[in-house]
Homo-oligomer: A and B are copies of this chain.
């Protein structure tokens, strides 16, 4: 037994055939008899042979990989696990990649190591999707590797797949207004986040159009952030009858804060979230929200990468959709 891991050469020698034949046999290619095929398979098995993916990729010229790069602003990596968004992105990319032999690789880094990661991935990737990557880092990536798409975060020159966050926020607030809410509070996300900023704009647009006061608070995109912000707002403005929350996770917290002080949802306070993530359906009552086609967006980005048709300023504004549940409509089904 050698120490070195067996190569196809070893298999061929042991089976008494040529490398070419061994390769054909193991890959079930035409031009190899069932007999040899079995023999080679047998030898490979006993030798514990595993083809080297790198060598195979190099020789055959196929086998690409697309990279998903996620920057994590929170101190704890666990955040990734707690956030429903990434799973949806992965699901979308996986769908687009199904059937191709392109692999999906995941890279996550905290903000302080983001630069390193960006450079490392950009050097070697055949194409990448950027999630949560700030504008400047996205540009840095693009300069090293133009084969990249940013998800939801615009950056100069970098191809972008985005959804209509501004319009979504406007729609959400319009819905609250339509069902009669006039004292509508808003909880925004961190301004470092491009989506949060767009949603803020949608909010501003509607309250201007409807002539309503600006009752805003800010928080991190977490349940706790939503809870605290909502509690504070309710204290400052006891007459609030509607609440727009820029993320379902925060909205779930807001719902808890509202019921904790004995207000009824939606009768006393109607609440609407954003994202249509799992947090929206798990909240109690379930949250009306704005659905983003995250999977579809991720799939589109991936397909663009595969096809290579990335116009320099290519941009795609995915439409969002209002979902009505019990947090704004008591009669909605559960």
Contact = CB atoms under 8 A, between A and B. Distances in A.
Interface of A: 50-58, 63, 65, 77-84, 86-92, 94-95, 98, 103-109, 123-126, 145, 223, 227, 249, 252-253, 255-257, 259-260, 278-279, 281-286, 294-295, 334
A81 B259 contact: no
A56 B260 CA distance: 59
B282 A145 contact: no
Contact of A334 (B65, B256, B283): B256
B124 A53 contact: yes
8 contacts: A53-B54, A53-B126, A77-B295, A78-B88, A80-B94, A94-B106, A98-B109, A252-B284
Given A94-B77, A282-B283, A284-B284, A54 B63 contact: yes
B84 A82 contact: yes
Contacts of A284: 252, 255-256, 259, 283-285
Contacts of A54: 53-55, 57-58, 63
A294 B107 CA distance: 19
Given A81-B90, A87-B86, A103-B105, A252 B282 contact: yes
A58 B279 CA distance: 45
Contacts of A91: 77-81, 108
Contacts of A87: 80-84, 86-87
Nearest to A123: B51
A263 B57 CA distance: 61
- 5 tightest Cβ-Cβ pairs between the two chains A and B: A81-B88, A54-B57, A284-B284, A252-B282, A81-B91
